[in-house]
Chains A and B, each alone.
Chain A
Amino acid sequence: MADTEGFEEFYTATVGRLLGALFPVTGDLHEAEEVVQEAYARASTRWARLRDYDVPEAWVRRVAMNLAADRGRRLQRQARALLRAGPPPHIPPVSVEAMALAEALRALPMHQRQAIVLHHLADLPVEEVAATLGARAGTVKSWLARGRRTLAAQLGDPEEVRS
């Protein structure tokens, strides 16, 4: 059996979902595309092992989230070091409300952003979010609570964020 047998089907079935999850995390569509493609590239080299996983997508999602966090830190520090702002993020056309959310998400710390997206978009339970991000469930709950509070405040609804 070829090492990449079944990889194309897996890629095709999951790439849209993963890209959709990574875009709110990176806040930049091109960045999300790059992270997702790199995660799949890494998955392809391990596919002989990954294809036996119950949910290979979870592995790719975890790698992509880690890459997003790494790249986010690097870009942030590079921008600081070079004392210049990067290009504006590439955001596809969305409603004013969704655009506002994208901007508010960018202001959150990366782990809060990731937790919010994994829990409220990918519908992962807290325990699975914790496993994906390599944190404890209690920590994730705290990130979620803080993230929601910040988003609500940023988006002009200090009362509540409905999940």
Chain B
Amino acid sequence: MLDLHQRLQELADAATRDGATPGPAHAIRRGRRRRRRIIGGVASLLLVAVVAGAAGTGQLGDRPPGPVAPPGVPSTTSPPEVRAHPVPAEVTAQLWEDTKTALGECGVRKAAGPRMIARGMAYGNAWVLGARPPQASKGMCWSSGEAGPGGGSQVGTSGSAGSPSREIVASGSSGDNYGSAYGYVAKRATLVRLVFNDGRAPVEVAPVQAGARFPVNFYIAYFPQQGASGGWRVARVLALDRDGRTIAHCRTKDTCAED
């Protein structure tokens, strides 16, 4: 007869005895870093469209300039509040350096070097979206970074061990006055729709064309919200094709993360 409790207890005791947890102060610092990273790991195609005209959208990688959103794409997005605080050029440059560093550390060895996908400004901060294309169909990383006028980049990074396996993924942040979502989406998608859990109207953004080296495109969106305590307000993310048909979707609760 197997004494399950006794053996489990022995394992637990061994873990307690030999395990090393760095302590509550470390957990608190890690929690704060996580919150900052989440807040920083954001940007918005919504604002690409809105801010591009107002604040100037940077050029994307080594590709020729082009429209961020496909022409003729309908959008239910209403312009969010955008405060105009100029971000010094050196801060923006440092943001991209920090984002490249984060992309380099994303743990996917097969991915190629970092490329800037898009950049712009939102809620008074500079943001950048970067990615490393997969090599030999393996390993892709993508990051969004953000920096305020005073500097101090916050960068969020995601990666896939193999070639991107989903049609759409999403991650993002929940800040005090805005939230955000970003991720990749299948190339055949022409629109990404964010559905919220607080009853507000969905936000739709057009994917950023990432170029031939990427098997997917990327999207990024900012949306206003009051307070971070309610958590991320995005409940589902849908990818729509040119005819408005849903070709993929994920629930942010459990199916939006890259495996």
A→B interface (CB under 8 Å): 4, 7-8, 10-12, 15-17, 19-24, 29, 32-33, 36-38, 40-45, 49, 70, 73-74, 77-78, 81-82, 91-95, 97-98, 101-102, 116-117, 120-121, 148, 151-152, 155, 157, 159-163
Contacts and interface: CB of A to CB of B under 8 A. Distances in A.
Given A70-B257, A98-B7, A40 B24 contact: yes
Q: Which of B13, B19, B32, B138 has the largest number of chain A CB atoms within 10 A?
A: B19
Given A16-B19, A162-B5, 9 more contacts: A32-B19, A41-B30, A94-B10, A98-B7, A116-B4, A120-B5, A157-B1, A160-B2, A163-B4
B104 interface: no
A83 B84 CA distance: 49
Given A42-B31, A159-B1, A29 B18 contact: yes
A19 B19 contact: yes
Contact of B14 (A10, A93, A116, A160): A93
B22 to A, nearest CB: 7
Contacts of A40: 21, 24, 27, 31
A101 B26 contact: no
A45 B35 contact: yes
Interface string B117-144: 0000000000000000000001000000
A29 B162 CA distance: 27
A135 to B, nearest CB: 13
A148 B4 contact: yes
A43 B162 CA distance: 32
9 contacts: A12-B24, A23-B19, A70-B257, A74-B257, A78-B161, A78-B259, A94-B11, A98-B7, A120-B8
The B contact surface, by secondary structure, is helix
B164 to A, nearest CB: 11
The range of chain B's interface size is 35 or more
A45 B21 contact: no
Contacts of B11: 20, 23-24, 94, 98, 101-102
A83 to B, nearest CB: 10
A4 B20 contact: no
A121 B5 contact: yes
8 shortest interchain CB distances as A-B pairs: A20-B12, A23-B15, A92-B18, A11-B24, A44-B31, A41-B30, A81-B162, A40-B27
B227 to A, nearest CB: 12
B62 interface: no
B34 A41 contact: yes
A162 B5 CA distance: 8
B76 interface: no
B21 A19 contact: yes
A32 B30 CA distance: 16
B160 to A, nearest CB: 8
A155 B2 contact: yes
A20 B16 contact: yes
Given A38-B30, A92-B15, A8 B7 contact: no
A33 B2 contact: no
A45 B19 contact: no
Contacts of A45: 31-32, 34-35
Contacts of A116: 4, 8
B32 to A, nearest CB: 7
B8 A121 contact: yes
Interface string B38-76: 000000000000000000000000000000000000000
Contact of A37 (B1, B7, B30, B32): B30
Contact of A93 (B7, B18, B20): B18
A159 B21 CA distance: 39
Nearest to B110: A82
A94 to B, nearest CB: 5
